[in-house]
Amino acid sequence: MTDRELLLAAQEVRKNAYAPYSDFAVGAALLCEDGRVFTGCNVENHSYPAGCCAERVALFSAVAAGVRRFKAIAVTGWQRDVAGRPCMPCGICRQALSEFSYDLRVITGTPDDILTHNLQELLPFAFGM
């Protein structure tokens, strides 16, 4: 699975985003160490805090399937006025992902202009007990 393929999977699942309040559709594709890919989109709600980000939907699906080690996550977002700007994972999602794979590769941008970061770089000194 290449970074490009993972980003394309994120773009595909982004089509299912339920984002009537923000109009910001996000897709995420999480590559597990065993090669499986779990995807997620953001799901909003009338009661705003009840919604969930695409990254955590993908992460929690994977954990519910018994997977706890991950290699990479691709994230893609879209809204009219931020077109062209990469969609980076929010702070809560960075923390949630760090619980399982602090060395995760984070893939953003577009299939033709891919950006990669390490989660440790995006969330230095993550909280842990």
Name the residues annotated as catalytic: 55
Q: Looking at 11, 16, 22, 61, which residue binds ligand THU (CB under 6 A)? A: 22
* Helical H segments across 15-128, by residue range: 54-64, 91-98, 119-122
Q: Looking at 8, 67, 90, 114, which residue binds ligand THU (CB under 6 A)? A: 90
Which stretches does DSSP call E strand in 4-128?
A: 25-32, 37-41, 70-78, 105-110, 113-118
Q: Does 42 participate in binding ligand THU (rule CB under 6 A)?
A: yes
Q: Looking at 3, 30, 31, 44, which residue binds ligand THU (CB under 6 A)? A: 44
Task: List the Cα angle 93/75/52 in 5-degree steps.
Answer: 45
Binding window for ligand THU (CB under 6 A); candidates: 6-14, 50-58, 98-106, 121-129: 50-58
Q: Are 78 and 14 in contact (CB under 8 A)?
A: yes
Q: Which is nearer to ligand THU, 127 or 129 (CB)?
A: 127
Q: Looking at 7, 10, 30, 55, which residue binds ligand THU (CB under 6 A)? A: 55
List C-alpha distances in Å: 88 to 93, 94, 129. Answer: 10, 9, 25
**Contacts with ligand THU, residue ranges (CB under 6 A):** 19, 22, 24, 26, 42, 44, 51, 53-55, 89-90, 93
